């Protein structure tokens, strides 16, 4: 997986607004929506295995909680292998 950033913040959208959340933002998107505010995610990032991503998520939120996987184009296969099987006991 190519990852632009992983960070913890407050969720700003949905019925979970205001709750702590770990955001996993993937790199790469083959769409070019005119309203996009995430052009910085089109290139770059760092290559990580799903397990490495999950390890970082657990470090940021060791007691569980919300995780939002965002970025990338959902039908492109960029999310393949995530979340890993090892995450099941955490969720």
Question: Is residue 76 involved in binding ligand SF4 (CB under 6 A)?
Answer: no
Q: Mask 29-68, x = binds ligand SF4 (CB under 6 A)?
A: x-xxx--x-x------------------------------
Pairing of strands 20-26, 2-10: antiparallel
Q: Are 19 and 72 in contact (CB under 8 A)?
A: no
Query: How far, rounded to the nearest angstrom, does the alpha carbon of residue 40 sit from its chain's CA centroid?
Result: 15
The count of chain residues that interact with ligand SF4, using the rule CB under 6 A, is: 8
Question: Is residue 17 involved in binding ligand SF4 (CB under 6 A)?
Answer: no
């Amino acid at each position: 997986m190519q990852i632009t950033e992983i960070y913890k913040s407050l969720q700003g959208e949905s019925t979970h607004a205001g709750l702590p959340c770990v955001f996993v933002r993937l790199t790469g998107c083959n769409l070019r929506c005119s309203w996009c505010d995430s052009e910085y995610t089109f290139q770059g990032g760092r290559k990580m295995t799903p397990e490495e991503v999950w390890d970082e998520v657990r470090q940021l939120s060791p007691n569980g909680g919300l995780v939002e996987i965002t970025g990338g184009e959902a039908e492109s296969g960029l999310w393949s292998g995530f979340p890993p099987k090892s995450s099941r006991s955490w969720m």
